[in-house]
Structures are given as C-alpha cells and as structure tokens.
Amino acid sequence: MKKRIGILTVGGDCSGLNSVIRAAFIRAKNLGYELLGLKRGIRALANDPIDFIKLTDKLCNEDMLTNSGSIILSDTKWMSSTIESGKSIEDIKNMIHEGYKKLELEGLVCVGGDGSLRLINELLIKNENLNIAFIPKTIDNDVNYTDYSIGFQTSLEVVVSAVENIRSTAKSHERAMVVEVMGRDAGFIAMYAGIASGADIILVPEFKYDIEKVKNKVKECFSNGKNYCIVVVAESVEDSDFKHNVENVDGVMKYSHLAYRGIGQHLVSKIKETGIESRCVTLGHVQRGGKTCINDRLLGTLFGLEAINLIDKKVSGKVLLFSENRLKTMNISDVIKSVNKVLDLNNEYVKAARNLGVYIGEI
C-alpha cells in the first residue's frame, strides 16, 4: 500500500479551499503519497466506516483553482452536536485517533478556522503520534499572525462587486443603502471592502459609533449634492438600542458560534428618522462563494504544497501563515494563546478610512 496522507476542510466554507486540495494532491503525489479527502471535516475520522475519497488527477484538475466550496465537503456542527449528545472532549479525541490509526495515515492536513485550530490543539496534546499541519481559512480573516487566511480576499471581491451594483440603484432612487456583511467579531470584510467600494460610512464591531453622527453623515451625503449614501456594516455590530440575541444556536461552548442578524435593518430604521429613504441588503453566504480570486488561488497553492512538505518532514503541530510576503509557520499552541485578530488603530486601512473622511465610529 502507498503511504497515505489525509486532508479535510472544517468550519464554514470559503473560496480557495479547492486550490489548497489541488496543490496538496500534486505535492503528495510527487513525494509518493496517496492523498485521501476525508469527507465533511473531522467527523470523517470519527465515523465507522470512515467516509473518504482517494484524490486523483481527474478530480484535482485546474477547475479546482476557480471553483469555490470544498469538493470534500465541510461541516460546522459536528463538534457541538457530539458534545451535546453526551460525549466528552476526551471521547472525541479517542474517536479521532482511532480513525487516524485505522486509515494508517502518515499525516493529516486540516484546513479550518479558529474553532478547529483550538480543537486540533487539544487533539495534539500528549499525542506525538499525530502528524498534523494546519491551514487557516476563513472569510473573517481573524486568525492571528497571518496577513490573510484563505477565502478572505475572494469575499472582498464579492462584497465590492455587490456594493457597485447597489450603488447604481442608490443613485437612481436617491437612497441610503445599508449593506450588511459577514465577518463575525472582526470588521476586516467591512473595512477593506468598504474602502475599496467607496462607502461613506463603515461600521465595525471594534469601534463604537454614535447614531446621531451616522445620521449626520447620511444627511451630509444628501446636502453636498451626491444624493445617495452607502453604509457598510459588519454583522456583529451593536449599539445601545440594538443587541444581538445571544442565544447559542449551535449548542455548546467554544466550538459553537452565534448567529448575528439584523443590524442592517436596525440602521435603516434609524436613518429613516432623517426623512431619507433607506434600504438594507444583507449579503450573507454569497460572500463565501464566487470565482476564487487570484490571491486566494496563490495562497491556497502555497499553503497546500507546504503542508505536505511539513508532513513529509514529520514536522507536526504547525500553522501555516503568510506575512510580509513570506510563507511562515508557527506552533498551533502558540497561535491559539492570543485572542482572535481584530482591527485596531494601527491598521493601515483604518487609518486610510479616517483620512478619506469615511465615518468609522468614535475613535
């Protein structure tokens, strides 16, 4: 039997996952390994029989560079529902170790976000037998120490293109259009896409805002002859009159996440108090699809190739990172020590937004 490496994608999908899989397949093949695509994330290893596909040249063709989603599927709920069903983290670790042994894997490439990073860290604790390389992916771009995670840059393309479509109708109807974007507790999508699409107001969870100043900025767009206004708001933004329902929709603890909805509509109702017509567009999951942008193809390719190199060299427990134009690695245990990355006042794009006169809150 050929030596085997497994690869899985876990958490919310995004563009660029298939670029990672393709590059990992090519590198694994060149080093004499078979690459197994474990289906639906971590759960594949816990299930009996283990659900996987052997990746082939035919599957991993160049279309993988373009197409979003994950050909090996992804899952966001398995961890929380398994814990809810009464299993402990220890039980889960054992199930996964069993699956890894059963498949006789030489290593595992895990492509995931922050939640999966913490789980993988737990799996590695006191387990020298596992050989794992971790690739950060999330449109939210909130994984620390990397400038970009897979999927973020394509989501910017999608948001910018949507705002451009919305701009023409905003102009025709002389309206204030509020565009609600994803990003969980980080405002990267809102800030970067807002600047790139020329938004007048960008609201992010990192910076508190004054609703009166939002209204004044909207009025200014109508008094200076522009006669329309674009507001980009991140989904998790709150104000004194609007709090998210913190009911835990996915079940349990740190592996679950809350659904954020409604801030866009709330802003519309406030803007209408000025007498200006306003509408909200919530972009939602369109931000996770689309034609993969070139930067995500490049990043996915670098990460996919290097993950296999690490596994081949038996260097386990590393996260792949890209910063200062270089591919880097760091221990998973070190990356998770700090809280998720968010915007701060030193961020060049935050400074740029202020210098452009965009209202981004009271900072």
- The yes or no reply on residue 41 touching ligand F6P (CB under 6 A) is no
Residue 312 is among the residues annotated as catalytic for this protein: no
Pick one of 6, 12, 187, 361: the residue that binds ligand F6P (CB under 6 A).
12
Pick one of 4, 22, 137, 288: the residue that binds ligand F6P (CB under 6 A).
288
- The yes or no reply on residue 75 touching ligand F6P (CB under 6 A) is no
* Closer of 75 and 306 to ligand F6P (Cβ): 75
Size of interface with ligand F6P, in residues (CB under 6 A): 12
Closest separation in Å from C-beta 138 to ligand F6P: 5
> Which span sits near ligand F6P by CB under 6 A: 46-54, 81-89, 179-187, 341-349?
179-187
Name the closest residue to ligand F6P (Cβ). Answer: 182
Q: Is 176 exposed, middle or buried (0-12, 13-18, 19+ CB in 10 A)?
A: buried
Token readout for 350 is 């935050």
Token readout for 340 is 């998720």
> Which span sits near ligand F6P by CB under 6 A: 177-185, 214-222, 305-313, 347-355?
177-185
Residues 226-245 contacting ligand F6P, CB under 6 A: 235
Q: Which DSSP category does 242 fall into?
A: B
Q: Is 240 exposed, middle or buried (0-12, 13-18, 19+ CB in 10 A)?
A: exposed
Set 13, 140, 142, 312: catalytic member: 140
Beta strands (DSSP E) in 115-238 are 132-136, 176-181, 201-203, 229-234
Residue 112 host element (H or E)? strand 105-112
Closest separation in Å from C-beta 310 to ligand F6P: 25
Q: Is 268 helix (H, G, I), strand (E, B) or coil?
A: helix
Pick one of 21, 28, 73, 139: the residue that binds ligand F6P (CB under 6 A).
139
- The yes or no reply on residue 136 touching ligand F6P (CB under 6 A) is no
Closest separation in Å from C-beta 287 to ligand F6P: 7
Pick one of 70, 74, 131, 138: the residue that binds ligand F6P (CB under 6 A).
138
Q: Give the phi and the psi of residue 52 in degrees, each rounded to 5.
A: -145, 160
Instruction: Check: CB of residue 139 under 8 Å from CB of residue 14.
Output: yes
CA atoms within 13 A on the CB side of 180: 20
Cα separation values, 280 from 236, 238, 267, Å: 15, 16, 8
Residues that bind ligand F6P (CB under 6 A): 12, 76, 113, 138-140, 182-184, 235, 260, 288
Residues known to be catalytic: 140
